[in-house]
Structure 1
């Protein structure tokens, strides 16, 4: 995911948690906040140590970043998102994680239009 699409600063995370809304399913919690300034959507990812050791957490982060990176053009602009991974996400493969993320993001009304479920080999 490109640097411009990342939510990194503590104050930005705090603002999304305090002023945003949340939607959840079994694997993810999604906080959303609509900014007033111009700019692209930004995504932050949070995974607790309770989910697993560093190797497991980093694998989940890589998969989530890759899935969201492919959807960035379909996410409403000026939106800050924070994805929090829950324990059941550890056992998911790529397709299941993609489906779960699509579900929680659809419930939060994040998409301008729904992303299609392309196969990995079809992506360019």
Structure 2
């Protein structure tokens, strides 16, 4: 995923948390906010230390980035999305994480 599609700054994460909407399932939580003047969506990924060691956290982040890259053409352009992984995500493979992410995106009509 290209850098222009990522949220990196803490202020941008906090803005989405404070002003955006959220939705969750057992494995993931998404926060999103509409940004009408934006030409493409942006994604921030957060995996806390409670999930596991660095190897586990980085694997989950890789899976989430890859899942977003697969569905990139379907996602509505004018959104900032922050994804937070929950504890059950550490035992999941790529296909399960993608299915969980797609469930959230469909429920909130971001696709």
TM range (shorter): over 0.9
> In structure 1, what is the Cα distance between the partners aligned to 2:38 and 2:106?
23
User: Cα deviations across residues 17-44 of structure 1 (Å, max 9, x unaligned)?
Assistant: 0110000000000001001323210000
Between structure 1 and structure 2, the one with the greater Rg is 1
TM-score using structure 1 length: 0.86
Q: Does structure 2 conserve the Cα–Cα contact (< 8 Å) formed by 1:32 and 1:108?
A: no
* Counterparts of 2:18 and 2:25, CA distance in 1: 20
Distance 1:39 1:19 in 2: 20
Q: Equivalent residue for 1:2?
A: 2
Structure 1 Cα separation of the partners of residues 19 and 35 of structure 2: 10
Contact kept, 8 Å, 1:47 with 1:84, in 2: the verdict is: yes
2:22 is aligned with 1:11 = no
Structure 1: which 5+ runs fail to align?
A: 112-124
Contact preservation (8 Å) 1:41, 1:80: yes
Q: TM-score, normalised by structure 2?
A: 0.96
Separation (CA, whole Å) in 2 of partners of 1:39 and 1:15: 19
5+ residue gaps, structure 2, are: none
Q: Is the 8 A contact 1:27 1:86 kept in 2?
A: yes
Q: Paired residues, what number?
A: 111
Matched, 1:92 2:92: yes
SS at match of 2:71: helix
